[in-house]
Amino acid sequence: MTEDNFELAVVQVPSPAQGEFLVKNLWLSIEAGIRTMMHEPDVEASKSTIPLLQKGEPVHSFTVGQIIQSRHPRFPKGSYVTGLCNWQEYFISDGARMQIVDADLAPVRYYLGIMGAMAAPAYFGLLDVGKITDGETVVVSAAAGSIGSVACQVAKLTGCRVVGITGSDEKVDWLVNELGIDAAVNYKKADNLQDCLKSACSGGGIDVFFDSVAGKSLEAVIDVMKVHGRILAYGALHGYDGGDSVWPTNYLKIIYKRLCVKGLSSLDYLNRLPEYHAQMSRWISEGKVRWRETVYEGIENAVPAWIGLFQGKNIGKMLVKLGDPEQIP
Amino acid sequence: MTEDNFELAVVQVPSPAQGEFLVKNLWLSIEAGIRTMMHEPDVEASKSTIPLLQKGEPVHSFTVGQIIQSRHPRFPKGSYVTGLCNWQEYFISDGARMQIVDADLAPVRYYLGIMGAMAAPAYFGLLDVGKITDGETVVVSAAAGSIGSVACQVAKLTGCRVVGITGSDEKVDWLVNELGIDAAVNYKKADNLQDCLKSACSGGGIDVFFDSVAGKSLEAVIDVMKVHGRILAYGALHGYDGGDSVWPTNYLKIIYKRLCVKGLSSLDYLNRLPEYHAQMSRWISEGKVRWRETVYEGIENAVPAWIGLFQGKNIGKMLVKLGDPEQIP
C-alpha cells in the first residue's frame, strides 16, 4: 500500500433533503482494520465477512463532525456526531448508524479513540471475555497504540501485572514511566521475544493476551502462556498488508495448553457504549487513565497518516484534524 | 514414522514388592496423540508441554489389564485396571495413576474407548465448553474414529444437526446409516471441502466444530462457521507426523467471525470420569449409542495398528488384544 493507491477528489457538497443533515467533519480516525477492506475482490482473507471497497470509492473511517445544516428532527444543527463515514470533509447523512456524542463528557475527538467504539472491546474483552482478575499477568501487543494503551490501563486498574509489546524505546518509556505498566518489550530490539517476555513476566507465564497484531508476537506469547490462558484476538496488524507472518505456527500449543482464543469485534459492543463512556469519562476525570494522540493536519495528510500507522509512527491514537467547529447562532 | 522406528524386546517379568502388583495387559489402546511424544528433543512443537519419549523407552498408551499378583491392599488380585502404561504384556505398578475399572458397567476394553479418559472430553467439551443446544449444527472431524464417533452421538442425543468429516465411503455409510447422523463428507473425494460442508449443513453454517485433525479440514470449517461459532480443538492428527498442514491459514476469520477456539485435554476431566461412566453406560445399555472397534491381535501387531491409525484403517476404536483374562481362584 503506497500513496499511489490513493487520489484526492473535489466534489460539490449537496444540500440536505428533508430527513437529512449536512456534517462538517472535524476529526478523522486512522484505523488499521480498514486495511482489510482494501483487497482485490479475489483475495481469500477478505471473502464473505468483510465488505470490500470498490475502486474509486472513498476510504471508510470513523469520524467526528459537526452538524452545520439539518432537516432531521433528531439531529439538531450544532451537535456533534460520530459514525463509520468516509475520508471526506463534508457529507450528507440520514442519521443511519450515526450517533450524537456528548461534548461535555470528553473532547469530541476522544470518541474516535479512548471513548470510541474501537477502544471499547479492550475494556469489555478484558473484563467480560478474558475475565481478568487481580494478580493475573496480562500482555498487550501494539501497546502504545490507541487500543493497546487503553487495554494496558484497564488491566492495570484491575490489579493485573501488565506487560506491553511495542516497537520503539520511546514507546517503552511512555508505557512504563507515564502509563505505569510493569514492563514493556521493544520487539524490534528483542533477539528472542519469548525470552524477553518470560523475564518481563518474572518467569510466571501469561494469563491473558490482548492482541491486535498476530504473527510472530502471537507465536512468542503462545509459548509463554500459562495452561488455560486466554487470548483475546482483536486484530492482525502484521497481516493486513498481505504479510504471511499473521499465522501462528504453534497451533498445537493451543491444544496442549488448553488455551482459549476468542475473536473480538467492536460490532458486538455498540449497544454497551453508554456504559463504556460512563466508566471511561469517570477514569479520565479522576486522572486514572492517560491518553496520547498523534495528529496530522488536513485531509491531504490522511494518506501519510495512514501509511505512518503501519510504520508505527503514532504514539496513542492516530488522527487527522480536518477542521474547526463553527459558531452556530 | 515407519516400522523401522520400533523394536520388540523380551524382558524378564519381575515379582511385585510390598505395595506393588503385577498386571497382565489384556488390551492396548492405539492413540494418535502419543505421536507428539515421539520427536527429536529439539523439535519446537513438542517443547515444554509434552514429555518426550527417550530412545529405547517403551511407547506409552492407555491399557486395560488384570492384576494377577498383588501385594497392594487397594488393588486386589483379579481386578481390572487402566492407566497410561506402556506397550507391554506385563508390568509392575505401585498403583500411581492407575484406576480400577468396573467390569459390570461395560466390557473392560470399553474403558480404552467409549468409556475411556480420551473420549470423555468429547462429552464434556461439547456440553460444558461448547454449550451445544438443540437445533445447532455440529461438525466433527475424524468422525468415524473412537473419539469422533462419541462426539457425533453426544451431539445427536442433544438434538443437534450433526455432520461428520471422514476418509472413506464405508465410514460415511456407517456414520449416516448406523450412527444416524445427518450427513457425512468423505474429504478424500471432496474437490472443495467448504462447498461440501455448506451443502451438508443445508447452507446454514456451523455453530460448533469438534476437531481432532486440524490442517485443511479446520481451515475449510472456519470458512463455513457462523459468527460466534465455537471450535473445540482436541487434536491435530494431520500435524503429528511433521506435516505442515496443521496450521489453519485463515486466522483472520477467527477474528472477523469472533470465533472461540478452545483447546481440550483429557487431563482436565479425569476427576469427572465417574460422571461420564454413569451417563455413557446408561446410554449403552439403552441402545442409544453405538460403538465399533478395529482389533489387531498380539503385541507384535501394535506397530502395524499404530501405522494403520494414521492411514485411517480403523473404524471406531483401534485396539490391540494382548491376552485373555485369567481364572483367578
Nearest to B233 among A249, A255, A263 (CB): A255
- Where do runs of H (alpha helix) occur along B246-326? 251-256, 273-285, 302-310
Place of cell 464417533: B149
Measure Cα distances from B91 to A129, B12, B69 in Å: 47, 10, 11
Continuous segment of H or E residues that includes residue A85 = strand A80-86
pLDDT band at B44 (very low <50, low <70, confident <90, very high): very low
3-class secondary structure, B322: coil
| Per-residue pLDDT at A37 | 75
Q: Quick count: other Cβ atoms within 10 Å of Cβ B48? A: 10
Bridging pattern class, strands A161-166 and B317-321: unpaired
Class in CATH terms, A3-109+293-321: alpha beta
Q: Does B236 touch chain A (CB under 8 A)?
A: yes
Contacts of A45 in chain B (CB under 8 A): 250, 252-253
- Residue A160 CA, chain-centre distance (Å), reads 21
What is the distance between the alpha carbons of residues A83 and A96, in angstroms, rounded to a whole number? Answer: 9
Contacts of A49 in chain B (CB under 8 A): 227, 253, 256-257
| Per-residue pLDDT at B250 | 83
- Residue A64 CA, chain-centre distance (Å), reads 15
| Per-residue pLDDT at B326 | 93
Q: Does A250 touch chain B (CB under 8 A)?
A: yes
The values of phi and psi at residue A174, to 5°, are: -60, -45
The sign one gets for the Cα dihedral A77, A79, A83, A89 is positive
Lowest average pLDDT, out of A12-16, B197-201, B247-251, goes to B247-251
Q: pLDDT tens-digit profile of B302-314?
A: 999 999 998 888 8
Closest by CA to B273, choosing from B115, B155, B127, is B115
Question: How many Cβ pairs within 8 Å bridge chains A and B?
Answer: 104
The values of phi and psi at residue B108, to 5°, are: -60, -30
For chain B, domain boundaries:
3-112+293-321, 120-267
Q: Is the pLDDT of residue B49 over 60?
A: no
AA identity, residue A90: Y
Q: Is the pLDDT of residue B40 over 90?
A: no
Per the CB < 8 Å rule, is B44 touching A257? no
What is the distance between the alpha carbons of residues B167 and B189, in angstroms, rounded to a whole number? Answer: 8
Rounded mean pLDDT of B119-144? 97
Per the CB < 8 Å rule, is B261 touching A239? no
Contacts of A256 in chain B (CB under 8 A): 36, 49-50, 263, 265
Contacts of B45 in chain A (CB under 8 A): 250, 252-253
Nearest to A256 among B50, B246, B249 (CB): B50
| Per-residue pLDDT at A182 | 97
- Where do runs of H (alpha helix) occur along A102-145? 120-124
Chain B nearest CA to A124, separation (Å): 14
Flag whether the ipTM exceeds 0.85: yes
| Per-residue pLDDT at B183 | 97
- The superfamily CATH assigns to domain B3-112+293-321 is Medium-chain alcohol dehydrogenases, catalytic domain (3.90.180.10)
The overall average pLDDT reported for chain B is: 90
What grid cell was written down for A125?
Answer: 474483552
- A193-200 and A215-224 are packed helices; what angle lies between their axes, rounded to 10 degrees? 50
Nearest to B251 among A214, A250, A264 (CB): A214
| Per-residue pLDDT at A45 | 43
Closest by CA to A24, choosing from A324, A327, A328, is A324
Contacts of A251 in chain B (CB under 8 A): 214, 236, 239, 246-248
Rounded mean pLDDT of B117-143? 97
Q: pLDDT tens-digit profile of B285-303?
A: 999 999 999 999 999 999 9
Per the CB < 8 Å rule, is A251 touching B249? no
- Where do runs of H (alpha helix) occur along B160-301? 169-173, 193-200, 215-224, 251-256, 273-285
Task: Give the chain A residue whose CA is nearest to the CA of B37.
Answer: A256
Which of A147, A218, A252, A268 would best serve as a mutation to test chain B binding (most B beta carbons within 10 A)? A252
User: Could you tell me the mean pLDDT of each successive run of 10 residues in chain A, 329 residues long?
Assistant: 83 92 97 75 48 82 96 97 94 94 94 94 98 98 94 98 96 96 96 95 93 91 96 84 62 92 94 95 95 95 93 90 90
User: Among residues of chain B, what percentage have pLDDT more than 70?
Assistant: 93
Q: Does B6 touch chain A (CB under 8 A)?
A: no
Contacts of B247 in chain A (CB under 8 A): 247-249, 251
Q: Does B215 touch chain A (CB under 8 A)?
A: no
Lowest average pLDDT, out of A24-38, A309-323, B14-28, B108-122, goes to A24-38
Q: Quick count: other Cβ atoms within 10 Å of Cβ B11? A: 9
Q: Quick count: other Cβ atoms within 10 Å of Cβ B180? A: 12
- Is A120-267 in CATH node 3.40.50.720? yes
What is the distance between the alpha carbons of residues B187 and A68, in angstroms, rounded to a whole number? Answer: 60
Per the CB < 8 Å rule, is B260 touching A263? yes
Chain A nearest CA to B62, separation (Å): 18
Rounded mean pLDDT of B97-120? 93
3-class secondary structure, A52: coil
| Per-residue pLDDT at A46 | 42
Q: Which residues contact A47 (CB under 8 A, 6 or more apart)?
A: B223
The radius of gyration of chain A from alpha carbons, rounded to an integer in Å, stands at: 20
Place of cell 446408561: B282
| Per-residue pLDDT at B11 | 84
Measure Cα distances from B267 to A185, B84, B120, B263 in Å: 34, 11, 10, 12
Per the CB < 8 Å rule, is A262 touching B265? no
Task: Give the chain B residue whose CA is nearest to the CA of A265.
Answer: B258
Per the CB < 8 Å rule, is A252 touching B261? no
DSSP state, residue B204: S
3-class secondary structure, A60: strand
